[in-house]
Structure 1
């Protein structure tokens, strides 16, 4: 399923030196600063390492977050936050705003921005794994797991960490509620796509597949509506992707609902349900073309070229023809003017976000070391630090060549 998922670009950031000469007045304090700088560079490099695994990402991100919390958590028992929280300026771009950066002198801003990028990395890992030829059952589980981890990270950032920012998130930026909600919902919907493909592969009950497809279509519709007040220059392409996925899974829901109705000997209603599936499938094909022609950030998915997409068109056509034949020979039912209502609720297979927890504070960050950071001295000028006004270059992501699409999610 190469190029099945739309992906926005990774966030880019200016270097953070953590050079607190003068303030860090002990060897242990200086070591924390040096280790922070090294851990941050390593994590940023890991984002574009095509060989990185979830285990490596967790280790590298935990190493950084455990140290960074020394600049956030109170360590002297007398305050609500670290005295170091506002000592360093951090600069980040957004996944929708190109290389236009936001800056805040706040370690919490650094935490949520970096964790957001980790979550985006998990969505890209899922896309990369799903694009492999002859994906195995274990790899399909990794895709499913990665998307649930991403959803959980976005959700925890929104609910627990972003509200702590002194400067509220700017409208239309990554840390704003509408953007976060869309990432959460999309990640859940894509995880459910894996479940649907698995259910089809194992020939599960048609009613279960119809219900899952309907729930997934509703997720995509909700995500699209969440973005409808955002600047079209940033969101139009993303919205077209969400719309085409919504119509595609509505086609799936009506197709499999038609099979369920046919099994109950309601052939006329089955025909009408398949006709509705045909209508939605045609809409999805048209939206695929519109999506490819719409300008905006992110990689362009190509669902209409995938066998998974094409197989549905064939399935709808064959099932509709079967229903019409059966109706002409056996049932002689009248085809209703209105399509049967999809009052479907999936009992199984719904994807819930995996809760995200920060690692424990680094053992290096003790009250004794914390006391040796002396804010009264103020950091000396760092001639090597990056200029605040310089342009931040977009992250150069690996150019992964598409593999042959077999049409299978699990082999």
Structure 2
């Protein structure tokens, strides 16, 4: 057995890993790089050893060690901070590629491990043990190339090799592994029918490799020719062995047909071993033809039975080839990675949300409910005038809403124009070439989902326009002179008014105190302590316990609910004791109270202003979301339109060519 191919290792430029890691640690870690000098040196040495390994088991171990280190680095550091450069070695011209990606480096090392296994598989003789080892190494190599093919799709960068090349190498390695198995069967004098099935599987693997190689941007023509020669050779082997098997079954017509087919394929092969094998086939065929012509007189069949391949090899799972990171020296144990900081940030946001939902919002809602229950009472509540500049800002915000509405309307019209033009183009081409020839789906069905989405977006836009108009009307109805003028009122003499005012101020103060307390009591120290002990990133239980610190604040909110109910009861009682409608003189005096009239007007204007502000805030969010949705929709429609244009061009060129 000879003429097997090994895959050359990729080559790379040196990287000053020590300097790059040091900068990365200083920029992203709590600690400085000086704390990890030993680990940094080990990483740098591991890569330096891995870039030019010997073709040996020791060289293979060096690659695996470096790969294990890369897996550790991926967990500790951002993926896109260090640049690596590797050169292709399959094509006649070496082409380099550079990427800022630890994951890309890791998959490239898997590729080189696959190359190393293929080269080690060649360093064998024809002994049974050596064949077994070569077969295993080729399967290991195939597993590595399959891993590259499957995992490089997740890369946000240039692939390690193109998919066609990775598939070619996978099938080539499987073909050569199967060839080892076949050769052992030949040595052990197994039945010819079994050897033929083993050989047919080799043919299938080489067929797949050739198909992918012809689409590859890296596989050289001399390699493709070699693969074709190997396929033709093993086609000849398959039919030669089937011919011998037919002889055992006394199917002499089939035997002659098989040997003739074998001779045809061996003539197509350019392998160095072809000539010797051709002589064997010719000799056997000559004898078989003579015996059949003078003795057996069996008719040669038009077709031979299909040969079912016997698959004996498969790609080895990469996980079984590499050492576990749990059983290797752990580097940067005390380093606090960016991931942990991200967790802290996320938990801080959740803590702020917790305080907002459990303390701030409930207290504000209770005060709002209390305030709402006092609408008929002449109580000045937080009546603070605003300056004219603030009103100008609100007007400017309103103008922005109108502008956003107009811009989105224009964008939707552009999208609709794209869809209409696509439909018109499709209709014209359909008329030009005929419905039977124009096989693309009609635009009426292909565009339906886009028109439906367009209609929905227009509906949302119309809703926003109606709300904007309503907000505009609200803003214009505000007594702007009133809310910008200085308030001059006598001090309230009503005890209930003063009591409620004091309660609401206390609640506002408590909200500020709790938010300040939350900002000072963060989870970061607990997470760092837990991470150093366990090395895991499951902090949910710690966060749950952390929040118990605010239990007293939740109790305060619950007590405030009871207080709110009592105050509302007092308000209702006072409302009940107000002068009745029949007490004309009392009601007259109440209506003519200028203080109450002034306060009611002021409250009403501020109420309108609050509604305007709420609408402005909601409107801003609404248009931001609608702008994003419209932009995404526009990109989607443009991609669809581009795809349809390409389909139309391709189909029209095809129809034009047929017409010629």
Alignment of 1:302-317 (within 5 A): 303-304=271-272, 306=273, 309-317=274-282
Report the CA distance shift for 1:106/1:315 in structure 2 as closer, same or farther (over 3 A). same
Aligned to 1:354: 316
Choose which of 86, 97, 106 in structure 2 pairs with 1:102. 97
Report the CA distance shift for 1:197/1:28 in structure 2 as closer, same or farther (over 3 A). farther
How far the C-alpha of 1:310 sits from its partner, in A, is 4.5
Alignment of 1:41-190 (within 5 A): 41-46=48-53, 49-50=54-55, 52-53=56-57, 56-73=58-75, 82-97=76-91, 98-129=93-124, 132=125, 135-159=126-150, 161-169=151-159, 174-190=160-176
Aligned to 1:395: none
How far the C-alpha of 1:90 sits from its partner, in A, is 0.3
Report the CA distance shift for 1:177/1:184 in structure 2 as closer, same or farther (over 3 A). same
Pairing 1:11–2:10 present: yes
Distance 1:138 1:115 in 2: 26
Number of aligned positions between the proteins: 328
The question of whether the paired residues in 1 share the 8 Å contact of 2:131 and 2:181 is answered with no
Distance 1:228 1:255 in 2: 28
Choose which of 308, 316, 320 in structure 2 pairs with 1:344. 308
Distance 2:86 2:172 in 1: 23
Choose which of 229, 238, 241 in structure 1 pairs with 2:215. 229
How far the C-alpha of 1:372 sits from its partner, in A, is 9.9
The question of whether the paired residues in 2 share the 8 Å contact of 1:271 and 1:324 is answered with yes
CA displacement 1:190-228 (0-9 Å, x = unmatched): 011111111111110111111111111111011111122
Report the CA distance shift for 1:10/1:62 in structure 2 as closer, same or farther (over 3 A). closer
The question of whether the paired residues in 2 share the 8 Å contact of 1:26 and 1:372 is answered with no
The question of whether the paired residues in 2 share the 8 Å contact of 1:206 and 1:259 is answered with yes
CA displacement 1:268-326 (0-9 Å, x = unmatched): 12101101100100011xxx2xxxxxxxxxxxxxx41x4xx444323312321231232
Distance 1:28 1:255 in 2: 69
> Residue 130 of structure 2: SS of its match in structure 1?
helix
Which structure has more relative contact order (CA 8 Å, sep 6+)? It is: 1
The question of whether the paired residues in 1 share the 8 Å contact of 2:7 and 2:118 is answered with no
The question of whether the paired residues in 2 share the 8 Å contact of 1:89 and 1:105 is answered with yes
5+ long unaligned stretches in structure 2: 26-31, 342-660
The question of whether the paired residues in 1 share the 8 Å contact of 2:81 and 2:101 is answered with yes
Pairing 1:36–2:38 present: no
Report the CA distance shift for 1:340/1:186 in structure 2 as closer, same or farther (over 3 A). same
Alignment of 1:353-372 (within 5 A): 353-357=315-319, 358-361=322-325, 362-366=328-332, 368-371=334-337
Question: TM-score, structure 1 length as denominator?
Answer: 0.74
5+ long unaligned stretches in structure 1: 74-81, 289-302, 376-411
Distance 2:50 2:77 in 1: 25
Moved more, 244-253 or 222-231: 222-231
Aligned to 2:230: 245
> Residue 335 of structure 2: SS of its match in structure 1?
helix
Aligned to 1:205: 191
Aligned to 1:281: 266
Structure showing greater Rg: 2
Question: TM-score, structure 2 length as denominator?
Answer: 0.47
Alignment of 1:259-408 (within 5 A): 259-284=244-269, 288=270, 303-304=271-272, 306=273, 309-336=274-301, 338-346=302-310, 350-357=312-319, 358-361=322-325, 362-366=328-332, 368-371=334-337
Distance 1:29 1:373 in 2: 19
Report the CA distance shift for 1:22/1:91 in structure 2 as closer, same or farther (over 3 A). closer
Aligned to 2:501: none
Distance 1:278 1:313 in 2: 7
Report the CA distance shift for 1:253/1:371 in structure 2 as closer, same or farther (over 3 A). closer
What CA RMSD, in Å, does the superposition of the two structures yield over aligned residues? 2.5
CA displacement 1:118-173 (0-9 Å, x = unmatched): 211211121232xx4xx3221111111110100111112222x312311142xxxx
CA displacement 1:374-411 (0-9 Å, x = unmatched): 99xxxxxxxxxxxxxxxxxxxxxxxxxxxxxxxxxxxx
The question of whether the paired residues in 2 share the 8 Å contact of 1:273 and 1:339 is answered with no
The question of whether the paired residues in 1 share the 8 Å contact of 2:171 and 2:206 is answered with yes
The question of whether the paired residues in 2 share the 8 Å contact of 1:23 and 1:373 is answered with no
Report the CA distance shift for 1:371/1:31 in structure 2 as closer, same or farther (over 3 A). farther
